[in-house]
Amino acid sequence: MSGMGGLSAAARAALLERLTRRRGEEAPAAPAASPGRDLSTLPGAAEIAMMREAGAALGLESPYFRPHEGIAGARSVIGGRECLNFASYNYLGLNGDPRVAAAAKAAIDRHGVSASASRLASGERPVHGALEAALAAHHGAEACLALVSGHATNVTVIGQLLGPRDLILHDALIHNSVAEGARLAGARRVAFPHNDWRAAERELAAQRRRHGRALLVIEGHYSMDGDVPDLARFVEIAERHDALLMVDEAHSLGVLGPTGQGVAEQCGVDPARVDIWMGTLSKTLSACGGYIAGRRALVDLLRHAAPGFVYSVGLAPPLAAAALESLRVMRAEPWRVRRLQENAALFLRLAREAGFDTGGSAGLGIVPVILGSSVRAARMAAALFEAGVNVQPILFPAVPERSARLRFFLCSEHTAEEIERAVAALVAASR
């Protein structure tokens, strides 16, 4: 697109609008011959190139993959410049906490950096069992299993538990890892409208008898919208239709409920009524990895049969130690959860008062500012970055074009003054 540099600003904006409105309904024409080793024909390559060229035509630098030069919490340093940071999952400010760092360093001194093997094949360390016992207690579950990746946890667990005769019913906004797990399982996959428990029950009632096992999957706190499901309703639906209920707590732990216990505490539901609790270690717990908590029989099966656990190296000991210490600090210092929720509520109120569309955000940790245009979202993110506020735009095709947004992640370490400054910068960037 070498000739695009001479386009007017309006023409460039119109071009990117046209490009981002593509929905992919039209299948690409079959190539005349095998693409062979031409990597530009791989799925998704053309779309990435198109977006990169369109962004360059608009004079917009990519906001992605910017290196942070220190700890990314409420504030960060990017390109040698300190900025307010609203693009981190460090909800309770525990990444960088000296106690968490000390626990990780002690684990390195004792066990080294890596488990060096599958836990099944001699990669087990005492810290793994300690972390799993603490997470099981956190969820009121009988047992827990920690894996090296949150994404891989959903993929391997769903892929292991379900098969072609089974049904997976999930929220339309469920994380990619659940969809990939369903694809691996080969089960029939049905999506219901976001947070619509009535639609979920209609689908389950219509489909249940034609399948062997059924799995209903929701999230405790949706990362794109910051809203929360009516957990009690979904529990009742699963019990009524003999389905397993799985709740992804990736963005719930440390964020929802008065003490950060998660969506069960937020909604006043007995956690034992949920069959499968899934969570990640990379957000509130400031480490990396994923876990499953539930009945002992489930965890024992996964421990011996889930490919993503059996055939993968064990969770690195310093990561397990960091997550365990983060969980201990979170429980000992509930003020962190309270401050996070106060900060999110303040941001949500100020953004709404300024006239921004924040969707259905509950104001507990995640607040989207929905702008309805990928061009506008990209431009406002760039203007905010220039003003010293780091926030990521979420553009088509990650969300529908009319739902392009800036996604603000709040932290317990943000101050009220910083939040007010960020909203003021948001208002200025929108003019």
Domain boundaries, the chain: 75-90+334-429, 98-332
Is pLDDT larger for residue 90 or for residue 32? 90
Q: CA Rg, the chain, in Å?
A: 22
CB 136 within 8 A of CB 266: no
Q: Give the pLDDT band (50/70/90) at residue 399.
A: confident
- Going by the DSSP 8-state scheme, the letter that residue 118 receives in this structure is B
Instruction: Give the bridge partners for 280, in sequence order.
Output: 290
What is the 3-state secondary structure of 287-317? CCCEEEEECHHHHHHHHHHCHHHHCCECCCH
Whether 294 shows a pLDDT value over 50: the answer reads yes
Q: Give the pLDDT band (50/70/90) at residue 30.
A: low
Whether 26 shows a pLDDT value over 80: the answer reads no
Q: Give the pLDDT band (50/70/90) at residue 43.
A: confident
Of 424, 406, 416, whose CA–CA distance to 367 is shortest? 406
Q: How far apart are CA 284 and CA 99, in angstroms?
A: 14
Output the pLDDT for position 17: 57
Q: How far apart are CA 43 and CA 46, in angstroms?
A: 8
Q: How far apart are CA 307 and CA 323, in angstroms?
A: 23
Q: Give the pLDDT band (50/70/90) at residue 263.
A: very high
Read off the tokens for 233: 């309703």
Whether 312 shows a pLDDT value over 50: the answer reads yes
Active-site residue among 170, 241, 283, 414? Answer: 283
Output the pLDDT for position 7: 40
Phi, psi of 200, deg, nearest 5: -60, -40
- Coil, strand, or helix at residue 1? coil
**CATH 3.40.50.300 for domain 75-90+334-429:** no
CA distances, 214 to each of 84, 187, 190, 246, 292 (Å): 44, 9, 11, 11, 18
Active-site residue among 128, 211, 241, 251? Answer: 251
Q: What is the mean pLDDT of the chain?
A: 92
**Rounded (10°) CA dihedral 318, 319, 321, 324:** 170
Read off the tokens for 171: 């929220």
Q: Give the pLDDT band (50/70/90) at residue 50.
A: confident
Task: Tell me the DSSP string of 415-428.
Answer: -HHHHHHHHHHHHH
- Coil, strand, or helix at residue 92? coil
- Going by the DSSP 8-state scheme, the letter that residue 256 receives in this structure is S
Whether 55 shows a pLDDT value over 80: the answer reads no
Whether 91 shows a pLDDT value over 60: the answer reads yes
Which residues, including other chains, have CB under 8 Å from residue 236's CB and lie 6 or more apart?
none
Read off the tokens for 70: 């220190």
- 223 is a catalytic site residue: yes
Output the pLDDT for position 401: 81
Output the pLDDT for position 396: 80
Residues 177-191 have pLDDT tens digits of: 999 999 999 999 999
Read off the tokens for 19: 């490009």
Residue 147: other Cβ atoms inside 10 A: 25
Percent of the chain with pLDDT over 90: 81
User: What would the mean pLDDT of 366-385 be, rounded to a whole number?
Assistant: 94
Question: Which residue type sits at 388?
Answer: G
User: What would the mean pLDDT of 129-143 be, rounded to a whole number?
Assistant: 98
- 373 is a catalytic site residue: no
Output the pLDDT for position 37: 86
CB 430 within 8 A of CB 389: no
Output the pLDDT for position 24: 43
- Sheet of strand 405-409: strand arrangement: 366-370, 405-409, 392-394
Residues 64-87 have pLDDT tens digits of: 889 999 999 999 999 999 999 999
Percent of the chain with pLDDT over 70: 92
Q: Give the pLDDT band (50/70/90) at residue 386.
A: very high
Determine the CATH number of domain 98-332: 3.40.640.10
Q: How far apart are CA 428 and CA 431, in angstroms?
A: 6
Whether 353 shows a pLDDT value over 60: the answer reads yes
Output the pLDDT for position 381: 96
Whether 387 shows a pLDDT value over 80: the answer reads yes
Is pLDDT larger for residue 209 or for residue 11? 209
User: What would the mean pLDDT of 94-112 be, rounded to a whole number?
Assistant: 97
Output the pLDDT for position 19: 54
Output the pLDDT for position 18: 55
User: What would the mean pLDDT of 154-177 be, rounded to a whole number?
Assistant: 97
Q: Give the pLDDT band (50/70/90) at residue 196.
A: very high
Is pLDDT larger for residue 40 or for residue 220? 220
H helices of 162-252, in order, are: 176-185, 197-207, 231-240
Residues 1-14 have pLDDT tens digits of: 333 333 445 545 55
Whether 22 shows a pLDDT value over 90: the answer reads no
Instruction: Give the bridge partners for 217, in sequence order.
Output: 170, 246
Cβ-in-10-Å burial (0-12, 13-18, 19+) of 79 comes to exposed
Phi, psi of 276, deg, nearest 5: -135, 115
Q: How far apart are CA 404 and CA 268, in angstroms?
A: 33
Of 65, 113, 74, whose CA–CA distance to 94 is shortest? 74
Output the pLDDT for position 281: 98
CA distances, 194 to each of 23, 44, 170, 222, 268 (Å): 20, 26, 9, 10, 21
CB 266 within 8 A of CB 228: yes
Lowest mean pLDDT among 44-58, 124-138, 232-246: 44-58
Q: How far apart are the first and last CA of the chain?
A: 29
CA distances, 186 to each of 151, 159, 183, 304, 395 (Å): 18, 8, 5, 21, 30
Q: How far apart are CA 215 and CA 238, in angstroms?
A: 8
- 76 is a catalytic site residue: no
Active-site residue among 76, 149, 223, 282? Answer: 223
Output the pLDDT for position 111: 97
Q: How far apart are CA 157 and CA 142, in angstroms?
A: 17
Lowest mean pLDDT among 50-64, 273-287, 291-305, 390-404: 50-64
